[in-house]
Structures are given as structure tokens and as C-alpha cells.
Structure 1
């Protein structure tokens, strides 16, 4: 191709230097290439989506295929505010404090770009969902990861020390990849540190309805945290519509005003027909959410027991739809995952992809149980049949 020679000057900036493609999505592509069962990326099966919201999206294509208001369809913002007042006990003004984004990932990115920059420090707990790492870098902020791998417990003395120079704390609950749900006691201590050190809290609550006991709390339900918190959540996991890209961002007006600047010029608006379907989704009865958790709890137990039977060492999660497990070989986690696809026909995610250090060592991998029960059963059968460990 003409002009294909590389230019003499370095292409890119410090914002993108060292950022690699998503390992999670890389494993999905490898699974597709080798016709493996994909238990790497959190993609539900097609029949998981409630029919009523699919019908609403189809109907909206004919009637509502143009831009909405940048902040989102007014009916959807009203529905979000109403439901979250019920669910979390916090009143958000749908006009000024609710923003509909292109998925939760965009909500997180817009928040990070708007509220942090060069000279700021961003704290998060590792192992961590991989997108927080480049989001911090794109903003020009310095990442301050705090490792909780061993017992999934926060060292609050370390957190308080890190908070002295930080401006933002990221909290994912339920947590990806571990399934940890932060307790009321932990959130109360976090609240003390947030106010003592003048932090902003960014919460990723995309798995808020996939929990397995009655102890789950949103951070905004604790003390006065709502006044300093940006809640990032959305439709993807709760309604099994990961490709629709409709997120909800709830925050006090002084925070929403800033993140909306980024959202406006990067996304304009989320897909209009899927926003309309979101209004229908938020009208579903409470029984829907109960059935959702019960369904995933069955699949959690199915995969957990199956991994034990296959000779692995899983940790049972309290929320979300992932299981992390250790494996008894000397292979690296990356080597183990690629061999798992080649020889067992099952895809998982290397644990090292959930750490800021690109050379991090991890002796564990992550599976998802977002797939249906027959698919999980088939994956367990392959693991048993083709195990080399």
C-alpha cells in the first residue's frame, strides 16, 4: 500500500503509551477462532433478555431513531430517578443529576476525564476491572492500586495513607473479577476516609442486581456518601443487553455538570431505540430482579462445584457473575488460559490482566457463569475430560 512506511516520528501520546487491547476481549476472539466455549467475557445468552424490552426496542426503531437530548431521553431519566429513589433511597433530579451514557464504561471514562487530570491520584482496589487502568492514564492521573488479592480485605490504614494525596477513589461493588460485595462496615470506614481527605467516590455498580444475599448496599446508602459520589451503572448486565450500550450516571449536580461536558463531546447521546427500551426495562416488577439473582445463584453453584470436581480451586463470589480460581500447575496464567482454549475448548481470562503492572504474576484465572446452564454443563464436561493438571 502506498505510504505504508512507518513515519519517523513516534505516533501517539503519553496518554496512550503502553495501553494494550483488552485481554478479556482478546480471549473472546481466541475462543471464536478455536470454537471454544466462551467463559471469558461476561456475555449472556440471547434468550436471557426479557422479551418486553426487545419488543420496545424494535418498536422504537421506526419512531425514535434520531438523537435524543444529550443527557438522555427525558422519560428514561425520569424512570431512572424514580427507580433509584426506590432502590437506594436517594433522590436524584432527572434534569440535572441523571445522565444516560453509552454504557457504564463511558460513564466511568467521562467521570474520570472530567474529575481528574495531571497531578491527581486515583485509588482503586486490585484485582480490578481492566478499564479503570487506562481510564486513569487517559485522564493524565496517577493510578494508586491497593492490592487486596489475598483475603479480599481492605487495609484501611493503607487506604487512609493513599487518600492523603488522592482526589478520587474507585469502588466496584459487586466487584469484577472477584465477586466481592463491600460490607456496611467497610463502606462506613470508606465514608470516613472520603470526607476526611476530601475525595470524590466513583462507584461502578453494574452488577447491583446480581447478588446472592441480603447484605448488598450501594455506597450512596451509607451516611452522606451520596453527596460526593458518582454512581455508574446501566442496563447491560441486569437486562442481558450488553451490546445496547445504555448506561446510567447519577451524581449531585456539581459533579454531573462536569462529566456531562465530556459525554456531550464524545458520545452526543446513547442509542435512542435502546433508551426507549430502557423505560420499559425499568417498569419490570421487583419479582424480575429476584428471579435474576436466583438464576445466577444456581449457575454460580453449578460452575463452582464443577470447577472443584475438575481439580481447580475456586472462590465462591457474593455477587456479579464471575468466579476466580487457582490452578495447580507451574504455567503462567496466560499460558494456562491459551492451553485451556486449545486443549479443553473452554475460554477464561488470565488473572494478570486485572492488575496495573503489566508484568504482574497471578496464579489464578477468571471464568464467567453468564452463560446458560447447559452451556456451563458442557464447559465443565470439557474441563474434566481434557484436564492436564
Structure 2
């Protein structure tokens, strides 16, 4: 969809790419300075100063202690962290649970690991049903939890996380969390899974810099896990990528030193953009689902077209690019599309103006 947007001069509300000026200036300066001094490999697990900063941040914020030497790994983005985790901890034939609609890279990740996908459809109501989770877990070894979730913007409730903790403990599941949107949340009862029950003892947390600091191209991920799990995923990380880009790791130390007000301002900024897009899509006759986190919005549309056909037509006739919702299902999914509101308010307003002017539905 991004390539189609470029080809047709469309506003790109498909891929979750922030505008360049979203990156904190001090973090950019730190990266530029590091290019002159730090162009060689770090230790494969990551720059020691960065791992120490990550451990300190998550101890203070989530109340979980991770040893920066053995339990914190810096990866080439969160995606590589998830992939290394799946390749290391999923044996051929192991069942891997995830909730659909789901971030699309989990599906090939399970395939690469020769695992067995165990999707649980939460399309209707975006709620986890206990019976469905218990049934799936009886024949699974891992559970992937994207929280907040792409593409729905769902934030799993404390009760749902308690259920996950209970099921994981009873069925001895390893939990892999993708928490890259952890600071882009619009509800008051947000909890990290590792703050619930004994999940921290069986969970690999995958997060990073991309979304929080608007540096999606820097490819710096953080993976936090108990030492026995970290030791396994590090083997795959070491031999597939060696280390994340060194200058951007150094900039990560600066990023993690930003005050708490930075995170509050970040969430407030995205909440304003969420409300702008939500109201605008309703005004032009579409049916969006308001997210509680992340910066995506699933939207129903009132035509009989397949979602891919609708998205291509939207690009070519209205000049706005989105993602077909079927991308987020293992098999066929319902017809809806995903907008991002990672762009600035002016860009979102221009996209809404185009939708109104070139409305064909």
C-alpha cells in the first residue's frame, strides 16, 4: 500500500510511519554525534549502557527487575526480537496462540518456526472469551500477545490479563508480548502483562524505540526475559543480525533519559489525532472502531467490494492509502480496512478532505 501510495500521489495512512519532526531533537542529536564516534559493532546483546538504561526504566515503571547482562537483549527492531523468540522457543508442531485480527508478521513468524497457528478470533466485540482461550491453550505451547494491539487498538483489560496469567500458568505456556505501543494508550487501567500474576516468570517482552520515539527506521528493539529464555533467543539474534545499529543504540540511552512528561505528551498528542480521524471518518460515511491504544483504526465501509479492491480504489480515486483488513487474518477475514493516525493533524485533515471530496461509497 505504501508503494501504491507513492505511485499515485496518495496520502499514506496505511503504514504506521510518523512524520520526521516527531522525533525528540535531543535524540536525533545524540544519533548524529554517535555516527562520528560509534560506527563499529557493539556486543551482540547490545551496548551495555543501553541495556542498563532499559533495565532501570522497566524496573522503575513496571516493577520487574531484569539483569542487564543476561536478561536484556537489544535487537534489530521489535520485529527481529519477536522472530528470534519464535525461532528459538517454538519447536516444529508447537501450537502458537494469537488473537485475530493480528499484526501480520506473527503469521509468517510461526510458519518460519514450523509452529502450528492457533488463532482466536476476537473480531466481534474485541473481547477474549475464557472458554476459547482455555480450549486453545490445551493444545498449545506459546501465546503471542500484542498489547496495545495492532490493528485494532485493543488494550487488554486487567481481567483479561488475569485470565491469560491463569491459563498460561495452568497450561505451562511461554508468553511472548509485543508491547511496542506501550506508551500510546488512552485508557487509565493499562497494565503490562508482566505486572500481572506470575507472567513475568514465563514472558518474553518485545518492545523498542520505533513508536515511542518516532524512529521506525532506526531498528532498535528491546527484549526482556528471564535468563533461561533470553539465553535461547540470543542464539538466533547473534547469528542473524549480530547487533542493532550502534549509533542508534547510543541515541537510545539519550531517549530513555527523557522525563515522564514526554510519555504523557506523546499519548495526549495521539489521542487528539485519534479523535480527529474517528470523527472525520464517521462524517464521511465510514464506520470506524475507536481504539484504546496504538495509532491504528479499523473501519467498515458500506460497499460490496472486497477489502483489497476498496483500498486500491481509495488510493486511485480518493488519493488516500489504507491497508486491507484481510492482511490481519490467517485465513479470510471480514471486509474492513485499517487507517493509521501516526501522521500530523494537518495531514489527517487533508486526507479527510480528500475522502469527502472524492467519496464514492
Identify the TM-score tier after normalising by the shorter chain. Answer: over 0.9
Give the SS at the match of 1:209. Answer: coil
- Cα deviation, 1:318-354, whole Å, max 9, x if unaligned, reads 0000011100000010000000000000000000000
Matched position secondary structure for 1:83? helix
1:22-63, Cα deviation, whole Å (9 max, x unpaired): xxxxx0010011110000000000100000000000000111
Residue 202 of structure 1 is aligned with which of 169, 176, 190?
A: 176
List 4+ stretches of structure 1 deviating above 2 A.
none
Q: 1:67-86, aligned counterparts within 5 Å?
A: 67-86=41-60
Q: Output one character per residue of 1:192-218: Cα deviation in whole Å (capped at 9) or x when no partner.
A: 100100000000000000001221110
Q: Is the 8 A contact 1:332 1:362 kept in 2?
A: no
Structure 1 distance, partners of 2:88, 2:165, is: 22
Alignment of 1:239 onto 2:217: no
CA deviation vs aligned residue, 1:88-135 (integer Å, no higher than 9, x gap): 110000000000000000000000000002121100000000000000
Note the C-alpha offset of 1:361: 3.8
Alignment check: 8 A CA contact 1:123 1:146 kept: yes
Unaligned runs of 5+ residues in structure 1 are: 1-26
Residue pair 1:50, 1:239 contacting (<8 A) in 2 also: yes
1:87 aligned residue (38, 47, 61)? 61
Give the stretch that moved more between structures: 243-252 or 158-167.
158-167
TM-score for the superposition, normalised by structure 2: 0.99
Looking at structure 2, the residues matched to 208 and 76 of structure 1 have their Cα atoms a distance apart, in angstroms, of 19
SS where residue 343 of structure 2 aligns? Answer: coil
Distance apart, 1:366 and its partner CA: 0.3
**Equivalent residues in 2 for 1:1-389, closer than 5 Å:** 27-357=1-331, 360-389=332-361
Quote the RMSD (CA, aligned, Å).
0.5
Cα distance in 2 between the residues matched to 1:361 and 1:120: 24
TM-score of the superposed pair, with normalisation by structure 1: 0.92
Distance 1:374 1:96 in 2: 45
